[in-house]
Structure formats: C-alpha cells, structure tokens
C-alpha cells in the first residue's frame, strides 16, 4: 500500500513499529484522513495463523557489523538530534543518541526513495522498517520512522514540519525510544527511531550545541 500526501511543496508520512517478538507483521490501519499525512501501525509478533504477511523478511546481518568501521555523525544528524532532544527535555523525556546502524538504514532508504522519486516506507528488496533494521544488524525492541520529501529545506524546517503533525510528533516524543538515525538524499528525508534489544549496544552520540 502506497502512503503519500502533500502539503504545499512538502510531503510527509510516518510509520510506527512495536515489537514483542520478531515474526510476521499484522497491519493495524490507523489512516488519518486529512491532507497532511497518513500513518500505519505495524505490530510484530511471533507465530501467526494469518498467512498474509505484510512485513518483508530481509536477511539478518551480524548485530555489531556497524561497529567495525569508524563513524562520526554529520552536521544534519547533529542538528536534528539537538532539535529533537531539546523538545524531549521540555517534556522530561530522556534524550536520544545517534545510532550508526539506524543512520545507515535511513541513508539506504533515502537513496531508494530518491531513485524511485517517491515517498514510501517500503522497499521491494529490503522491505519495511523492521526488515531494514534487521538487515543492517540493529536488534530492536521498538522502532518508528518519519519520512519527508522536502527539496531544499533546512533541517529546522523539516523538524518543524514533523513537529506540527501529530503522528510525526508522537514518533519524535516516544518515551520508549533511545536512538535516532537520519538521512537526506535529494530532498528525501528518513528519520528512524528505536530502542535496542541488545544490552551491549552502539556508542552514544549526543548533541546539545548544534541548534
């Protein structure tokens, strides 16, 4: 199912995944019928009598492959993280940190959206968010994603756009999230959130001074 909507020259959409056990996906449709955005929630669970699968299964990579190379957050990542954490602190929520694997997944998905010139949460090769995160080795307990098509927009304007729409705001303010990944390719933005299921997770990259 294609999810897209437009608001002026900007288009945004969001999805949320919560995970009890990795398995097939049951789509619970929570479609907002307004001109700004639509959202679909996917609940993942282990074992199902439902033969209709909505979650593409991508091959699992070793959990810590992303730690084998050096990583430094870029300027856009730091600025978005700063903006997100400032807002979360206002509501007494723990700050997020940048996760290298989530950023890699976000970048690959922004590249895909740029190639097909369309906003989407699904890639025929790599699947939806849960499969994409598993493929790059991020063992997650929960995950969510915001995307946008905003060519030429600043980090702050994209952040404000997401903040002004309830489904995107809920993803940004999710109290369960601990990590964020971000990428923009040719105006196609991907913002991923998650909490790690692995106790020995990636190094912390926090930012307080880039916005």
pTM for the whole structure: 0.71
The pLDDT of residue 98: 86
12-43 pLDDT tens trace: 666 665 443 333 222 222 223 332 333 333 33
Q: Which residues are bridge partners to 27 per DSSP?
A: 42
The pLDDT of residue 91: 97
Better-scored residue on pLDDT, 1 or 168: 168
Residue 115 has pLDDT above 60, yes or no: yes
Mean pLDDT of 124-152: 88
Length of the chain: 211
Distance of CA 180 to the CA centre of its chain: 7
Give me the sign of the Cα torsion angle 183, 185, 186, 188. Answer: negative
Q: Do the beta carbons of residue 105 and residue 17 sit within 8 Å?
A: no
Q: Do the beta carbons of residue 196 and residue 179 sit within 8 Å?
A: yes
The pLDDT of residue 159: 94
User: For residue 91, what is the DSSP state?
Assistant: T
Domain annotation for the chain: domains and CATH numbers: 11-46+59-196 (3.40.33.10)
């Amino acid at each position: 199912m294609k999810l897209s909507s437009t608001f002026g020259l900007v288009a945004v959409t969001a999805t949320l995944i919560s995970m009890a056990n990795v398995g097939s996906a049951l789509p619970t449709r929570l479609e907002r019928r307004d001109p700004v955005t639509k959202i679909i929630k996917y609940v993942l669970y282990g074992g199902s009598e439902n033969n209709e699968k909505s979650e593409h299964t991508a091959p699992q990579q070793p959990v810590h492959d992303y730690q084998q190379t050096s990583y430094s957050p870029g300027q856009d990542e730091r600025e978005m993280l700063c903006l997100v954490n400032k807002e979360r602190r206002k509501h007494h929520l723990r700050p997020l940190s940048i996760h290298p694997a989530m950023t890699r997944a976000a970048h690959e998905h922004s590249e895909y959206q740029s190639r097909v010139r369309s906003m989407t949460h699904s890639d025929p090769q790599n699947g939806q968010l849960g499969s994409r995160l598993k493929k790059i080795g991020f063992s997650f307990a929960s995950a969510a994603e915001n995307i946008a098509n905003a060519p030429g927009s600043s980090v702050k304007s994209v952040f404000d756009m997401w903040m002004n729409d309830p489904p995107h705001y809920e993803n940004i303010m999710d109290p369960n999230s601990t990590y964020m990944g971000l990428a923009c390719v040719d105006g196609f933005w991907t913002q991923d959130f998650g909490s790690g299921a692995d106790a020995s997770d990636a190094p912390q990259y926090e930012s307080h001074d880039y916005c």
